[in-house]
Amino acid sequence: MAILFEILRAVWQSFSANRTRFVLTLLGVVIGSSSLVLLSGLLEGGKEALLIASQEAAEDDLVQVRRANAPEKQAGRTTRSLDQGDVETLEESRLLRDATVTSLRDTERKITYRGKRRDAVIVGARPDALAIYRLTVTKGRFLSDDDLAGRRKVAVVGQKVWTELFASAPSLDGLEVKTAGDRYGVIGVLAHKPAFGEGGPWQWDNRVMLPESTFALSFPSGEGRPHDTDRIFVRLAGVKYLAARIDQVRDITRATLLRRHYGVKNFRISGEREEDAKGELIIGIISLLILATAVISLVVGGINVMNIMLVSVSERTREIGIRRAVGAPRVHLLVQFLAEAVVTAGCGGALGVALGIGLTFGAAAVLNRVVGGWSFHITPWAPPLALGSALLVGALFGWFPAWKASRLDPVEALRFE
């Protein structure tokens, strides 16, 4: 305890003797520590904000299951096709109780209107598709339960389909789109929706939506399986901790479907392919590069600590000589000056952590107001890592001045003026 008190007294004397120099010395460590806390928090907040912002375009909170060929080793085994039974099984899963499960069937066809022709994706949909796929109607209305029950030949078209085929029409009254020999009355137009993601799955501007029952009647599944589906979607409720939750949902969906398909993986879940990990890799590289700047700042702060300790040793040369003359061991001087460097850097680290938390809170508040969807995050490992790094930097860069102090010749030190 006496040694600790002596060390703290020496640090305080150094601060009192030249406050400006001491503050400037701490500044490098403070900047490095606060940068580590600030940048790590902003990276976490940025990831969440990016996920929230991209939902409207890339449907990041939506797990997609598609049909796929079974692996070669499982090609001859008994299995099931992707169908409505899978949808019901996922809906009944307690592990997915906060998720919405739905299916989708579609087909690519030529559609025509008064001699104009274009390719479009025909989709069978239910009235809840607006909420599930986060769509809005800009003209007319969407599909209703009556349309579904009556198997009515009505359609809701995407914005691009409307623009290219029907833009000259004054209203929706009497408009019809023709495909595969059938005519469907246009009852609504979807608002424009950004289109990103795997294979352009959310190209809603290029789609024509029919009642699910009408679609099943007009475009029956092959091989006598009317309940087959092309895709199954599992949408999460809420966006908090989305990255971790989406991985859990993928795992639960995979395990549930494998049990129902007798262990044969004749389906593919979005996010399983290598290219889907490229975004995470890019974010990881950016994180490393940004956090490396904080480490560089800490190193610069360590150089400042070494500088002030060398100056301190020079100023206290006579004191060191007296202590050596009265029998103080070299190791005591080494430990004292090394501890002073560590305490000095530790003070800078503690101040930096506090400053980093405050700056992160302020930056999150500003970014949430400017960008939207940006929440305050402090990664659990950042404060202890910042403080520990500051202490380590103090020890590493304080070693040489401490060693130099312990190696001073007492006779020469006493002659020093």
Mean pLDDT of 352-370: 88
Which residues lie below 8 Å from residue 315, measured CB to CB, with a gap of 6+? 17
CB count within 10 Å of CB 283 equals: 15
Q: What confidence tier does 170 reach under pLDDT thresholds 50, 70, 90?
A: confident
CB count within 10 Å of CB 9 equals: 10
Nearest one of 101, 86, 29 to 388, comparing CA atoms: 29
pLDDT digits (tens, 9 = 90+) for 282-305: 667 777 777 777 777 777 777 877
pLDDT digits (tens, 9 = 90+) for 191-244: 887 654 444 445 788 889 999 888 888 887 655 455 678 888 887 765 555 556
Rounded Cα–Cα distance for residues 412 and 326 (Å):
15
Pairing assessment for the beta strands 99-113 and 116-125 based on DSSP bridges: antiparallel
Alpha helices in 189-316 (DSSP H): 212-218, 242-260, 278-315
- Which is more confidently placed, 98 or 416? 98
Strands (E), 133-206: 137-140, 154-157, 176-179, 182-190
Which of 14-23, 161-170, 185-194 is least confident?
14-23
Mean pLDDT of 167-184: 83
How big is the CA angle at 344 (ends 27 and 309), to the nearest 5 degrees?
A: 95
Q: Helices 242-260 and 84-92: crossing angle, nearest 10°?
A: 120
Mean pLDDT of 162-171: 82
Q: What are phi and psi of 67, to 5 degrees?
A: -65, 150
CA dihedral 321, 326, 329, 330 (to 10 degrees): 10
Hey, is 109 helix, strand or coil?
strand
Mean pLDDT of 301-315: 75
- Which is more confidently placed, 184 or 19? 184
Mean pLDDT of 156-180: 85
Place of tokens 């030190």: 413
Residue 146 pLDDT > 90:
yes
Please give the pLDDT value at position 201: 44
Please give the pLDDT value at position 200: 45
Q: Which two tokens stand for residue 72?
A: 């070669």
What are the helix and strand counts (H, E) for the chain?
A: 13, 10
Mean pLDDT of 32-44: 83
CB count within 10 Å of CB 198 equals: 15
Pairing assessment for the beta strands 231-236 and 267-269 based on DSSP bridges: unpaired
Pairing assessment for the beta strands 182-190 and 154-157 based on DSSP bridges: parallel
Q: What confidence tier does 357 reach under pLDDT thresholds 50, 70, 90?
A: very high
The percentage of the chain sitting over the pLDDT mark of 90, rounded to a whole number, equals 8
Residue 101 pLDDT > 80:
yes
Nearest one of 258, 227, 269 to 105, comparing CA atoms: 227
The answer to whether the beta carbons of residues 90 and 96 sit under 8 Å apart is yes
